[in-house]
Amino acid sequence: MNLIKVQYLGPDGKPRGKAYTFKAVMPVSKGDTVRLDVAGSTGVVVETEVDEKEVAAFKDRLKPILEKVAADEEKDG
User: What pLDDT, in 10s, does the model give residues 5-62?
Assistant: 999 999 999 999 999 999 998 999 999 999 998 788 999 999 999 999 999 999 999 9
The candidate with the shortest Cα–Cα distance to 44, out of 63, 58, 71, 54, is 71
pLDDT of residue 52: 94
pLDDT of residue 76: 56
Phi, psi of 25, rounded to the nearest 5 degrees: -100, 5
Handedness of CA 18, 53, 51, 61 (dihedral sign): negative
Global confidence as pTM? 0.88
> How far is C-alpha 11 from the geometric centre of its chain's CA atoms?
16
